[in-house]
Structure 1
Amino acid sequence: MFRDGARKSIWQEEIRRFSSYDQIVNNKTFDVIIVGGGITGLSTALELQKQGQKCLLIEASNIGFGTTGGTTAHLNTFFDTTFDEAISDFGEENAKLLAEVGKEAIQIIQNNISEHNIDCDFEKKTGYIFALDKKQNKKLEKMIEGAEKVGIEMKFCDGVSFPVPFVSVASVPDQAQFHPIKYIKKLAETFVSLGGIILEECTCLNHSEEDNEISVETSKGLFNTKNLVYATHIPPGVNVLHLMAAPYRSYAIAFEIGDNKYSEDLMYDLYDPYRYYRTQIVDGKKLLIAGGEDHKTGHEQDTGTCFSNLENYVREYFDVGAAAYSWSSQYYESVDGMPYIGKLPGSKGNIYAATGFRGNGMIFGTISSKVISDLIMGNNSKYEKLFDPGRIKPMAGFASFVKENVSSAADFVKDKLFKEKINSLAELNDGEAKVVKYEGESYAIYKETEGKTHILKSTCPHTYCDVHWNSAEKSWDCPCHGSRFAVTGRLLTAPSTEGLQRIRFNENGEEENI
């Protein structure tokens, strides 16, 4: 399978390629169209198909291409937004409701595993949260107080082995881990066996909403539906959610370790951004997965240092061998710390979205299937108001903010010396990239190891921000809303629905029309 980065995640090794889903679609009208083939989209599609809905799932690349293929797959009953924070910001009753989410999501996963006989390395674990200094200890005390108020068992404990010096540690029982790609692979197979349709390599370009029907324009034709679900983090195109959620990247490395060298439970510290650990067996070898070094997408000049910092920290305290895998992944944070799951703001009530999961994507992606399916089937959802995307109103002047009057068409220079001028401005070594300015225009340049140069317009087609180079994943990342592009300009990650505009040259060095 492919994923949205140049580095290989640990999950890609065990499942190298899915069966290609490109089913024949005779009828172009559906009850529900789901956009996005990660855990959110597939969980939702399967749940709705089981309830008698006629569903189409479309995925711009392959199943698991995005964050699900890059998660570290911790399943928690506590979240990045702590319960004491939730009590302060949303009230104790809503915090108690939030406390039910993790338990219910893990139960949904277990039910799917049992019902569909899924072998996905699911294991119940105890989570351990470590305070590394006095300041973190105070935070941990508040976390425990908040957890106690909402009915989540979290308490200080002794006798826990952890190689990093720490002041205190709390245990949280009934956590879990699994293999996310093995899990969603079976969800996809079951969905298709029940009559659901999956189209891979199918990009959602746009939608138009009428009174009783939604038209969905895709790279494989036009489809109609009663309900549309965007399980893509941020919906493609331009939407108010782009003002309400910010993209972040997180880094992970899987190290070789000997048998029983470290705890096989789930471990977290309270550093900001926090680091997290778990183990996984691949090809009979136990690996320690360490994650952290999070930052806003496109806001780190040298993303390679994020891997270096994480590896150096782990090697300082843990006795590990070779780094077998290293990868990064993307998630979104909401402005108030609570996810957005429900009806898309500005729609007529039949378009749904799920985003703002922070570092808890497997849990919130799973619970989204319950929330959204309940809403579509006309049932009440106890989480509807808590997660309502319409709870925060966008700022005035949104239309001007996204620069709707800016043309996405590029005015390219036409002289034969353009390529040479750009190359001389960039002065790149093999494998390097740079954004350069030339005659009032901005260009993203990447030079391959064999010397071939890729020249792109650096303007993201979404809201016209300039992209930044991600050296770790060899991609161009937009710092505004998280769109990501390959060195060829190919779209990797929404919300953009187009790639970066390319400039090609023929063998004479002259620009070609593309």
Structure 2
Amino acid sequence: MAYDALTGSLWLEYAPGPPRPALDGAVETEVAVVGGGIAGICTAWELARAGHSVVLLEADRIATGVTGHTTAKLSALHGQVYAEVKKVHGARGARLYAHSQQLAVERVAEVSEELGIDCDLERLPAYTWTEDPGRTDELRAEADAALEAGLPASYVTETSLPFPVAGAVRLESQAQFHPRKYLLGLAAHMERLGARIYERTRVTRLKEGSPCELTTERGHTIVAQYVVVATHYPVFDRSLLFTRLEPKRELVVAGPIAADRDPGGVFLTSEGGTRSVRTAPSGREGTRTLIVTGEQFAPGTTEEGEVGERYARLERWARERFGEVEFSHRWAAQDNSTTDRVPYVGRLHAGTRHVFVATGFAGWGMSSGVMAGSLLAARIRGREPAWTSLYDPVRLHPTRDVPAMLKLQAHVAKHFVGDRTPGAYVDSVDEVGPGQGAVVRVGGRLLAVHRDEAGALHAVSARCTHLGCVVHFNDEETSWECPCHGSRFAVDGRVVEGPATRPLERTRVDDGEGRQEEDGGR
């Protein structure tokens, strides 16, 4: 099947529910939650359920952003995390991590049953596997660390995958579900409880105080005693979290397979650029939908044609192991990792008691998002779960965090400075072919120029509105990406993904521009 015949995320095919209005005036509330993904919706629902006045603000439609592009594995087995968490946070930290994540899995099961939300929830085991005999000791150590942390984990040499493995960690009683069905159910319920949801409402400013004040791009204000920043990558960063967050993009392909080929679990390996496998109900008798994820890369770092080849590589891998599959869907997901692999959920910075943040889920946003909702709701209500300090964003472990922070900032500096040197952009608009995009210096400015298939040019400023790094073109997704902190923009400059909140400035260019300056300026 040709790529242009493929659709986007499987989850976005589900009806988005009734449209919510954009904010059109000033409002006051006890708690304002910025971001309508899993962390934001779960936080808002937990607070509304407890009787608090809540306003949820989403820049687009709820549950359509990162959450709408997840693979929706709901598990406390997060690759090889437990040995690492134990090393950094001690045995108690690993136990708290395991307990809080498994509670999140159970929370979805309990709430979906209580509210009657049919979200295709299926309970099944999770596996982290290797095909490399040289890595089995790592997985044995991970199984031991997970077991010590209180999870019913075991090391096995066989799985239900249709190919042999050298070894795997198995964890019982995990799950997979349809994230948007679940979250739209929560949204409808919290509205019945009195919560207000505003879509197409981008928040651009935060003034801290008692109360706090938020401002939207249209100039409307929200006054709240408490603010929760749940925008995936924080759009407000008063504690320099961007120095400790690393964005990664990952590709997903999906297509129908016979039900008897369903491996019956959720699976992950870090080998080959990461491979993640699960299935979902297809709605057609005798079939399931196979979902395969992998090919991690930093946004804004790919060459022309590279993303397309990565999709092809992912499909080849799946067909080699699951037989012929006609892939019907493909999409990409983005997430951020912290320097110690534990999410940041808690105070936005050390000096605040009224502003909270949830970020850094490292590809495990389903359990971590649910956990974050419970944790933040508890903290706003004056309670402190045992794992509060584990997830606190203001934590800093010098031996682990500082080297990782320096490495991340070296990466940022490379793009912030290096991308402005000659050779990092084409010399003329004429060099940008149909369907392509490139950075061109025109009139002393760096412009991000895209030529559509009809030949029309679309030009915007090439400097990301977050911190000024130069964007790069992703030809497969037809978008501009910031290689520093992962902001993404449409070709007309609109913000697709934060932390940027302002669009790239649009401008006009014509064929032949760029060449004259380069000819006369060197």
For normalisation by structure 2, the TM-score amounts to 0.87
Structure 2 counterpart of 1:428: 432
Q: CA-atom RMSD, angstroms? A: 2.7
| Residues 160/346 of structure 1: CA separation in 2 closer, same or farther (3 Å cut) | closer
Match of 2:497 among 478, 481, 493: 493
Cα offset for 1:153? 1.7
1:296 counterpart residue number: 298
List aligned pairs for 1:364-443, cutoff 5 A: 364-392=368-396, 422-424=428-430, 427-443=431-447
* Aligned position for 2:479: 475
> Of residues 201, 207, 216 in structure 2, which corresponds to 1:218?
216
Three-state SS of the structure 2 residue aligned to 1:191 is helix
1:136 aligns to what? 135
Larger CA deviation: 235-244 vs 45-54: 235-244
Question: In the aligned structure 2, how far is the partner of 1:271 from the partner of 1:112?
Answer: 35
Question: Cα distance, 1:226 vs. partner?
Answer: 0.4
Distance 2:168 2:339 in 1: 29
Structure 1 residue ranges (4+ consecutive) displaced by more than 6 angstroms after TM superposition: 23-27, 393-397
2:295–2:310: 8 Å Cα contact kept in structure 1? yes
Identity of aligned residues (%): 30
Partner of 1:349: 353
Q: Which residue of 2 aligns with 1:446?
A: 450
Instruction: Tell me which residue corresponds to 1:415.
Output: none
In structure 2, the residue matched to 1:101 is 100
CA distance in 2, matches of 1:24, 1:391: 35
Deviation at 1:117, TM superposition (A): 0.8
Mapped to 2, the partners of 1:477 and 1:85 lie a distance apart of 31
Q: How does 1:285-364 map to 2 (within 5 A)?
A: 285-301=287-303, 302-345=306-349, 347-364=351-368
The answer to whether residue 281 in structure 2 is matched with residue 275 in structure 1 is no
Question: Do structure 1's residue 461 and structure 2's residue 465 form an aligned pair?
Answer: yes
Distance 1:272 1:321 in 2: 20
Q: Which residue of 1 aligns with 2:149?
A: 150
Q: 1:161 to 1:224 in 2, by over 3 A?
A: closer
Shift of 1:128: 2.6
Sort the Cα spacing of 1:498 and 1:7 in 2 relative to 1 into closer, same or farther, 3 A: farther
What letter matches 2:217 in structure 1?
Answer: S
Q: d(CA) in 2 for partners of 1:430 and 1:25?
A: 40
Instruction: Name the counterpart of 2:420.
Output: none
What residue identity is the alignment partner of 2:491?
A: V
- Once residues 158 and 205 of structure 1 are traced to their aligned partners in structure 2, the CA distance between those partners, rounded to angstroms, is 51
Partner SS state of residue 453, structure 2: coil
Unaligned runs of 5+ in 1: 1-5, 407-420, 510-514
Task: Write the distance in 2 (CA, Å) between the matches of 1:157 and 1:143.
Answer: 12
Q: Which amino acid aligns with 2:341?
A: G
Tell whether the 8 Å contact from 1:119 to 1:182 is kept in structure 2 after alignment.
yes
Task: Find the aligned partners of 1:59 and 1:120 in 2 and give their Cα distance.
Answer: 22
Secondary structure at 1:466's aligned position in 2? Answer: coil
Paired position in structure 2 for 1:410? none
- Deviation digits for residues 5-38 of structure 1 (CA, Å, limit 9, x no counterpart): x9610111233x3311117777711100000011
Decide whether the 8 Å contact of 2:262 with 2:288 is kept in 1: no
1:11 is aligned to 2:11: yes
Tell me the CA shift for residue 490 of structure 1. Answer: 0.3
Distance in 2, Cα, partners of 1:448 & 1:155: 53
Q: State the distance in 1 between where 2:103 and 2:379 align.
A: 17
Q: Provide the residue aligned with 2:519 in structure 1.
A: none
Q: Secondary structure, in 3 states, of the residue corresponding to 1:100? A: helix
- Counterpart amino acid of residue 333 in structure 1: S
Contact preservation (8 Å) 1:333, 1:357: yes
Q: Which segment is superposed worse, 307-316 or 184-193? A: 307-316
Cα distance change of structure 1 residues 7 and 355 upon mapping to structure 2, 3 Å threshold: farther
What CA distance in whole angstroms lies between the structure 2 residues aligned with 1:58 and 1:380? 25
For residues 26 and 433 of structure 1, the distance between their equivalents in structure 2, rounded to whole angstroms, comes to 39
Equivalent pair of 2:79/2:269 in contact (CA under 8 Å) = no
- Give the distance between the partners of 1:68 and 1:80, measured in 2 at CA: 20
1:16-73 Cα deviation digits (max 9, x unpaired): x331111777771110000001111000001111112111100001111211100000
One-letter code aligned to 2:106: Q
Distance in 2 between residues matched to 1:437 and 1:338, nearest whole Å = 41
Counterpart residue number, 1:28: 27
Q: Give the Å deviation of 1:112.
A: 1.6
> Partner residue of 1:201?
200
Sort the Cα spacing of 1:160 and 1:287 in 2 relative to 1 into closer, same or farther, 3 A: same
- Contact 2:206–2:236 (Cα < 8 Å) also in 1: no
Contact kept, 8 Å, 1:33 with 1:228, in 2: the verdict is yes
CA distance in 2, matches of 1:237, 1:447: 33
Find the residue that maps to 1:429 and give its secondary structure. Answer: coil
Q: Distance in 2 between matches of 1:7 and 1:328?
A: 12
C-alpha distance in structure 1 between counterparts of 2:118 and 2:153, whole Å:
30
Q: Structure 2: which 5+ runs fail to align?
A: 1-5, 417-426, 514-522
- Structure 2 residue aligned with 1:260: 260
Deviations for 1:346-392, whole angstroms, at most 9, x for unmatched residues?
Answer: 55221000111101100110000111111111112212100000002
Letter in 1 for 2:41: L
| Partner residue in 2 for 1:409 | none
**Alpha-carbon distance in structure 2 between the residues aligned to 1:122 and 1:452:** 46
Alignment partner of 2:506 out of 497, 502, 506: 502
